[in-house]
Amino acid sequence: MAGLFDEPTVAYAQVAIERGVDAFPDGLTYGIPERLSHIQPGHLVTVPLGRGNTPTSAWVLSIHQSPPIDTKQLKQIYECNNTSIQLPNDLLSLANWMSQYYVTPIGPTLSTMLPGPVRQGTGTTTRELVDLPDELPDVETLSEKQQAVINVLQSIPSDERPIDKPTLAKQANLKSQSAIQTMIKHGFLVTKRVTRIEAQWLKHTQSFSIPESLTDEQQVAFDAVNATLHQGYASHLLHGVTGSGKTEVYIRLIQRAIEDGGSALILVPEISLTPQTAARLISRFPNHKVAILHSTLTRAQRHQQWALISEGKADIILGVRSAVFAPIPEGNLKLVIVDEEHETSYKQDSAPRYNGRDIAIRRAWMAKCPIVLGSATPSMESWWNATVRKISTLHTLKQRAPGLVVPTIELVNMKHEFTGDGQDFALFSGRLIEAMHTTLNANGQVLILLNRRGFAPWIMCKERSCDWLMKCEHCDTSMVFHRKKPLHHAGFVRCHHCGKEQRVPKSCPDCSSDVVVRGAGTQRAEELLRTMFDIEPNAIARLDSDTATNASTIQRTLERFGDGEIRILLGTQMIAKGLDFPNVKLVGVLDADSAIDMPDFRAAERTYQLVSQVCGRSGRGAGDSLAIIQSRDPHTPPIQLASKGEYETFAHAELSFRNEAGLPPASRMVRFVTRNRDEQSAKGKAEALFERLKPLTKEHVQLNPPIPCPIPRIADYYRYECTALAPTSTVLQTFLEEARTYMTIGRELAVDVDPIALL
C-alpha cells in the first residue's frame, strides 16, 4: 500500500499535523526512510494522512530509535520540505506549552511561529552603503572621477551618510560604479552592508539625542534591572509617566545585554511604532545588527530578517506581537522588553489566541533572563502581579525627562455644545477650535484622537417618530457610512465586523422618508477640519485602518508629520501610542467616553489608558502644551483620574471592584464560544457543552450558563458563550486539561484563555 514502508526505516518521528482540528493532540508517529535520515526536530515535513494518504504538512517534534506502536501500522514520511528551515528546540518547547495552555492543536501553533515567506523560501535582499573612512589614505593624486566621488561625499552632511552606490555614482556624474569599486578596494571608501529595512530607516536616526546621564529615577530603575541580568529569570514592571524616559532605560539595558555577548528582544504593540523605535536603536547601536520583524514587510524582507536571527547574526530583535517567536539561537537571549505592555493588540484574535506579552514572559522564563514590561498605564494584570502577588518587581518613573513639560489638561463637557442649527451635538467644542487656531498660528502641531473610523456610525430615518436604523444584513450591528473621498458626498455603508458593503438607501424602508447620517467618525472629523482651517490641503492628514493600508503608508504619514509638513494629524488609537514628536503643542480627544458603556468589564481600564496615552503625546518639546479632553460626562472617574495623571488611584479602585466581583486579574477566565448559521444549533451546542463541562468544575471553578454573545450574530453565524472563572492559572489549566477530551475545537467552537475582548 502506498505510504507504508517502501524503503528501510532508520528511525521514527513524532510529528504534529498542520490541521486546525484538535484530533491528534499528542501528534502521530511516522517512519523516517534512509534517504531522510538527516531529519531533526523542528523540520517541516510532508506525511501521508488518512486512508487516502493525503500529503499533509507536519512538524517533527521528536526522533526515536524504536517505534512506540506496532510498525505494521506505520507510514513513512514523504519528504522534508526545506532543510534550511528548522525551529530551535526552545520554540518547540514553547509551542508545546502554548498548545496546552491555549487549548489549541500543536500543528497550527507551530505554523504560527513560522512566517509564510520563510516557509516558501522567498528571496532576500541587502544593500551596500558607502561612506568616507575616518581618515583618507595618503595619496599623491586622485583621478577626476575619484575626486568627484570624494567631493560628493564631503558635501553630504555626516548624519545623511552612508549612501548607496547607485546614488553616489549618479551624484558624481559617473556612468558606472567602477571608480567607486576601486576606491573601496584601496581604502578610500568604506562600506556597510545593511538590509533594505535598515537602509529604509537610517535616514531617521539623526534626530535622536543621547542624554549624558540618566535621571535619578531612571538610574534607580536601571540599576535594579541590571543587577538581575546574570541571575536567571526575573520580571520587572517599569511604570513611567508618558515622557519619563522609559526608552532610555531600555537602551542602557540592551547595551549591557549585548556587552554580555547576548541578544535582546523588544516588542512594540503597533506597526506605527516600529520605524521610530527602529531608527532610535539603529542610531544608538551603529555597530550592531538590528533585525526587524512585522507582518507588513515585503515577503523577501521577512525571510531575510528571520534568517539573520536564526543564524545568530542579530544583536537586537525588534517587532510586533509575532516577533516573540523570533528563532534566536539557544543561549543567546539575555533580555526581553515589552513596551506599552498594556496594549490589547498583543492579543491574537484567532487560534492560537495567545497574548504576546504573556508569551514573552514565558520565553524569558525559558531563557533564564529578565523581562521588562513598560507602560505609563499598566494593565491591571501586570499591576496586580507587581503590587498584590509580588511576582514582578515594580519600578516607577514619576517625572518627565529633562526638557519635557507636563501638558495642561482641560476637560470640556460636550452636553453643552451643539451644531449651528441646534439639531445635533457638535464634534469639536468651541474651546478646542480656539486652541487649534492659537497653536497653528504659533507654528505648533495638533494631534486629534477620535477612536471611531468612517464618516458616521449610524444611518437612520429622518423622522423622529420612526425608529428605523440601518443594520448589517449579516451581523447584529449597525452599518457605518463611509465617504469615498474627503469632501465628496457620494459614499457607501460598511459593516466593521464582517466587511460587507452596500449602497446607502435612498429612503427609509419603513416609512419612505429621507435617511440621514448621525454621529461622527474620523472621515467626518477630517471634513470638518478642512472646512474650519484655511491651510494647505496636505497639511491635514488622517491615520486610521482605512488610510493606513500598509506599513509604508503609516511610515510616510508619520515622516511628513515629523518633518512639519502635516500640521494637523487626526487618527484612531494608533496615534495614541508611544509616538514622540516635539512640536505637538495641542492634543484633542473627541468622544473620550465613547467606550465607557461597552459590555466589557475592562471598559473603564481602556478608557483611562487611551485618554492618558494620547495626552502624553504633547509636551515633548520646549514651551507650553495643552491637551483638551471632550466628553459628555467629564465626571466619569476614568476620565477625571486620567486628566490628573492619578494612575495609582484609578488602579486601586479598579482592582477593588474586580476583586469583589471575582473578575480578572483576581481570577483567571476562559471563554467558550459556539457558532452556527442556525441560532438554535448554536444555542444547543453551548448548552450541551455546559452540561458536559459542569461535572468537571468541582468546587474551585465557576462555570456560567450559556448566553448570547454581546454581538449575537457576525457574518451570518449566531454566537453563544460560556465563561469559566478559576482562582489561579493552575486550577484553570487542570480544568481545561480534563475539558479538552469533551470538546471538538474548530470552526464551531472557539476557546479563548485569558480573553481581553468580550464582544
pLDDT, one tens digit per residue, over 317-371 is 999 999 999 999 999 999 999 999 999 999 999 889 999 999 999 999 999 999 9
Bridge pairing between strands 393-397 and 234-240? parallel
Q: pTM for the full model?
A: 0.85
Cell of 611: 485618554
Cell of 561: 508629520
**What is the spatial order of strands in the sheet that 44-49 belongs to?**
28-33, 9-17, 54-64, 44-49, 79-80
Element (H, E) at 146: helix 144-155
Give the Cα separation of 113 and 310 in Å (integer): 13
592-649 pLDDT tens trace: 888 887 888 999 999 999 889 888 888 777 778 899 999 988 889 999 999 999 999 9
Q: What is the pLDDT of residue 652?
A: 97
| Confidence grade of residue 3 (pLDDT, cut at 50, 70, 90) | very low
| Confidence grade of residue 417 (pLDDT, cut at 50, 70, 90) | confident
Residue 21: pLDDT above 80? no
Q: What is the pLDDT of residue 601?
A: 92
Give the Cα separation of 113 and 138 in Å (integer): 52
Query: Is the N-terminal amide bond of 352 cis, ω within 30° of 0?
Result: yes
Percent of the chain with pLDDT over 70: 92
| Confidence grade of residue 375 (pLDDT, cut at 50, 70, 90) | very high
Element (H, E) at 720: strand 717-726
Q: Domains plus CATH for the chain?
A: 9-119 (3.40.1440.60), 122-207+279-311 (no CATH), 216-270+320-395 (3.40.50.300), 408-453+522-657 (3.40.50.300), 456-519 (no CATH), 668-753 (3.30.70.600)
Angle between helices 178-185 and 144-155 (to 10 degrees): 80
Query: Is the N-terminal amide bond of 457 cis, ω within 30° of 0?
Result: no
| Confidence grade of residue 422 (pLDDT, cut at 50, 70, 90) | very low
Give the Cα separation of 229 and 257 in Å (integer): 7
Tell me which residue has cell 494584570.
381
124-128, 531-535, 541-545: segment of lowest average pLDDT: 124-128
Residue among 117, 610, 581 nearest 375 (CA): 610
Residue 319's contacts (CB-CB under 8 Å, 6 or more residues apart) are 266, 267, 268, 274, 292, 293, 294, 326
Q: What is the pLDDT of residue 126?
A: 56
SS3 at position 511 = coil
| Confidence grade of residue 183 (pLDDT, cut at 50, 70, 90) | confident
